[in-house]
A and B are shown apart, each in its own frame.
Chain A
Amino acid sequence: MNKGFDRVPRISVPDGYEPESITVSVGGQEVVVYKMSLGSFARAVREIEPYLKELAAVLFGTAAFQKVMRGEAVDSKVIETEIKTAVINKLAEMIAAVPETVMRLLACIMNIPDEGEVADFFWNAIGPGDLLDAVEKLDELNNFAEIVNRLVKVLGYLGKRYGIEIPGVAVVEKVKETEES
């Protein structure tokens, strides 16, 4: 009698488990926002992907980036000023130009579905004051810097596994090193 091993058991959400959450004030109402899931993060990234590509183009265009990619030594101050400034400037420019995208992005982060009453409420009720408060609280909840760090780790892992260098990963790691030191 042949006995195969059982297939990998599925991991289900434990009873009573609730992801971390915060309460955000939107249009005078308190809204509970849960920590982002991988799915909602992917949706959020999809919203801003065209802008991320623009950002990447800015990043790739800097002389410091080119140097890091060639494996040349780059002073941490140069990275700080050249790469980060270019990226942050571009980011600010994009945010100013695309408020709707920012709203959609927030909706994704807050796990608010695209359609239905909740979305209507979100689009109509959120004001500029709410926005700033929400962004701050959402960052506190989700720790976006940590997400980026882990994503870089994932890309680094994939690259190593297949012996390919993914453009940008080395630079992000270098920037991280600079920040940590």
Chain B
Amino acid sequence: MTDVLELLRPSTAEITVYDGRVEVESLRFLDWFRFDAILTQSLTTFIGGKIADGLDLMGKAIELAAGLSSSNVDVCEALAAFVVLGELNELRYMDPDFAAVSKETEGVEDDLKNAVLIELLTTLVARFSMNEIESMTPEFAILCWQRIREEISADRDVVFFSTEMGYNKKWTSKKEGKYMLVPRSSPYTPVWQRRRLKKLQGLEREEMEGYVPKFVKGDVGAVVDAKTGRTLRDMGEVVEDE
């Protein structure tokens, strides 16, 4: 079993209840999944014109995300808290692959959504303890799931926690094979963003292709790369000074 401690601290937000401000942390993976399902259900309920049922679901969402009981929290405070808690538990990171899966399951029966969750969980339990899965942030759980799927489908070992995932591996005990994952930046730089950047850089390279820099005689001996010792002569065409 992989021994991993996720170091990314969950986000926090403040809600106003009982005439005071209280800090609330974002949910971990399993609770987040439940929360998201309740939110989807409440939206469907409201659209169906069942406002009271929608409000009941809203109460459940608040209870799950902040431990507030709908019977002893002020209605105005609860409605404001609902929006804050919803925003707090938005996925900050969304890998395009997961976005595609989400799109497939959008608006379909809960069974299908549950099927995705079951697939995700059964994939993760092969590598992590239930305690670890429970404590993962949703983004991290999704990332791990995708990484394992990638590994399985490619039938090869992939670097499981590569820096591509936005983490650096910090060994705590090499002897015992223990390491921690330190986020390189927070919030995550999503994969799609990095891919786009890479693509843009690639385009620039294409544009530059065929371009041969010209240097005037006299400069050609200048070393431009201290490591390799490359000179201007190695890099471009030397022309005579006019």
CB pair A147–B79 under 8 Å, yes or no, is yes
Residues of the A chain whose Cβ atoms lie less than 8 Å from the Cβ of B4: 2
* Nearest CB of B to A76, in Å: 26
Contact with B along A15-51 (1 / 0, CB 8 A): 0010110000000000000011111111101100100
Residues of the A chain whose Cβ atoms lie less than 8 Å from the Cβ of B80: 150
Interface flag for A178 (CB, 8 Å)? no
Closest Cβ neighbor of B137 among chain A residues: A5
CB pair A42–B59 under 8 Å, yes or no, is yes
Which of B20, B67, B78 is A8 in contact with, Cβ under 8 Å?
A: B67
Closest Cβ neighbor of B135 among chain A residues: A4
Alpha-carbon separation in the docked complex, A166 to B48 (Å) = 10
Interface flag for B237 (CB, 8 Å)? no
CB pair A11–B51 under 8 Å, yes or no, is no
- A38/B83 contact (C-beta < 8 A), A8-B31, A45-B55 known: no
Interface flag for B47 (CB, 8 Å)? yes
- What is the total of A-B residue contacts with beta carbons within 8 Å? 130
CB pair A142–B75 under 8 Å, yes or no, is yes
Interface flag for A143 (CB, 8 Å)? yes
Interface flag for B73 (CB, 8 Å)? yes
Which of A42, A146, A150 is B52 in contact with, Cβ under 8 Å?
A: A42
Residues of the B chain whose Cβ atoms lie less than 8 Å from the Cβ of A19: 74
CB pair B66–A8 under 8 Å, yes or no, is yes
CB pair B51–A45 under 8 Å, yes or no, is yes
Contact with B along A92-115 (1 / 0, CB 8 A): 000000000000000000000000
15 pairs across A/B with beta carbons < 8 Å? A5-B135, A8-B24, A8-B25, A17-B18, A37-B74, A37-B75, A38-B78, A39-B69, A40-B71, A40-B75, A147-B76, A155-B46, A161-B43, A166-B43, A166-B47
Closest A-B pairs by Cβ, 4 of them: A4-B135, A10-B67, A46-B52, A150-B79
